[in-house]
Amino acid sequence: MTTAIATRGLSKRYRGGQLAVDGLDLEVPAGAVFGFLGPNGSGKTTTIRMLMALISPTAGEVDIFGEAMPSASTRVLPKVGALIEGPAHYPYLTGAQNLERYDAADRSADPRTRGARIGTALERVGLSNAADKKAKAYSLGMKQRLGLAAALLQPRQLLVLDEPTNGLDPQGMREIRSLIKALAADGTTVFLSSHLLDEIEQVCTHAAVMSRGRLVIQGTVAQLGAGLRARLAVTTPDGEAAAKVLRATDAADVQIDGQRVHCDADGLEPDAVCAALVGAGVRVFGFGVERPSLEDAFVALTGEGFDVAE
């Protein structure tokens, strides 16, 4: 099986007429770490809920591992771990006791290995020392970790994560990114919904961009920014003189923004340009080639800032 998730014309219209997802054709390669990008209100969580058969689509089809959902959900969902819209826990039970409840509710789980699997899951998400602490005393980040541990109680072919680093400190975010990479290295397909572009850039092999309920683009992470050019940037108080030198080197799209002068880097030799600037007496305080980021690609594709909600 080369495709883990495929949708065709997937749409969801809520009562009152709001079209949350509009004709989504999505393809997630098996074994990929797939980033699902979009600002709040773009339809990401609604899409995930339809993928997991939590809500019914208004139109369209969903296949997971080549089987139609929701009719094949009893066969498919045991292969899938999910963390969606923030985990819900029993507040007066400990972290370990919560996992015992989740595992007992899974008819495919072997009770004889429950204790060992719970211990392993807690260790993988960094909660071993808080296993006997009641969930009501957990921070938001710890609750996220516990939800992820629940998704990892069984070996999964597909892991669906909706904002998995929500509430985590920078160290926690790094740990979860490392865990995602390790899961992918073991062959698990990871579907990661996030509004954190840096997170997607660091861990994902493929991505899709949603805007206002519609798919804008999908492909490898490299392909998303393929249409954007690198910029050569100079920091200098001599803006006009620097711009004159850049134009003399046949640089295209030379612009002056305060003490930052930049141009299209295509076809330029940075060492030669820097030498020409210094030779012309331009004071160079900073110099380099800036590669387009995923955020640059998102703005170029959608025409809006990433944190804009509908």
pLDDT given for residue 167 in this prediction = 75
Alpha-carbon distance 8 to 62, whole Å?
7
pLDDT tens for 117-158 read 999 999 988 899 999 999 999 988 888 889 889 988 988 899
Alpha-carbon distance 97 to 134, whole Å?
9
For residues 111 and 290, the model is more confident at 111
For residues 290 and 10, the model is more confident at 10
Q: What is the DSSP letter of 135?
A: G
Question: Which residues, in sequence order, are CB contacts of 52 under 8 Å at separation 6+?
Answer: 77, 80, 82, 84, 160
Torsion, Cα of 61, 54, 69, 144 (10° steps) = 100
Alpha-carbon distance 45 to 39, whole Å?
11
Which CATH code for domain 231-291?
3.30.70.100
CATH 3.30.70.100, the chain: domain bounds = 231-291
Asked if residue 221 has pLDDT above 90, the reply is no
pLDDT tens for 12-24 read 998 888 899 999 9
Partner residues linked to 81 by β-bridges:
159
pLDDT tens for 28-76 read 999 999 999 887 778 888 999 999 999 999 999 999 999 999 899 889 9
For residues 173 and 150, the model is more confident at 150
Q: How far is CA 24 from CA 10, 63, 159, 190, 213, in A?
A: 5, 13, 20, 19, 8
Taking residues 72-99, report their average pLDDT. 88
For residues 306 and 256, the model is more confident at 256
Phi, psi of 258 (to 5 degrees): 65, -120
In single-letter form, the type of residue at position 2 comes to T
Question: For the chain, percent helix, then strand, then coil, each to nearest 5?
Answer: 35, 25, 35
Q: Is 237 exposed, middle or buried (0-12, 13-18, 19+ CB in 10 A)?
A: exposed
Among the four given CATH numbers 3.30.2320.80, 3.40.50.300, 3.40.718.10, 3.30.465.10, the one describing domain 3-224: 3.40.50.300
The b-or-e profile of 246-263 (16+ CB within 10 A means b, else e) is beebebeebeeeeeebbb
Among 5, 1, 19, residue whose Cα is nearest residue 214: 19
CATH 3.40.50.300, the chain: domain bounds = 3-224
pLDDT given for residue 225 in this prediction = 66
Query: Among 97-111, 164-178, 273-287, where is mean pLDDT lowest?
Result: 164-178
pTM of the predicted protein model = 0.76
At 226, the pLDDT band (50, 70, 90 cuts) reads low
